[in-house]
Amino acid sequence: KEFVTKVFESGGEMPHFYFVKGDVSRAFDTIPHKKLVEVISQVLKPESQTVYGIRWYAVIMITPTGKARKLYKRHV
């Protein structure tokens, strides 16, 4: 809320806000991770005064039995 208030009160140009939601369930083992990182790095190439924030994210792990397990973590 504080961030949004500062943006509105700044009186300057309204910045663009982008939201990304991805679902790669059952695809984690078929995605070439190096290529994925390369593409994401190009798309999110920071410009001057660009800030990215991560509020929460999922960590996907493979259990010893070979099943995927998702843990959601919060970063505030």
Q: Write the pLDDT tens digit of every residue in 4-61.
A: 777 777 776 767 777 777 776 666 667 777 888 888 787 777 665 667 677 788 888 8
Torsion, CA 39, CA 44, CA 48, CA 51, rounded to 10: -150
pLDDT reported for residue 48: 59
Pairing of strands 56-62, 68-74: antiparallel
Side-chain half-sphere exposure of 56, counting CA atoms within 13 A: 6
Residues near 24 by Cβ (< 8 Å), separated by ≥ 6?
A: 31
Count other C-beta atoms under 10 Å from residue 7's C-beta. Answer: 13
Provide the whole-model pTM. 0.30
Domain ranges (residues) in the chain: 2-74
Contact 61, 69 (CB under 8 A): yes
pLDDT reported for residue 76: 59
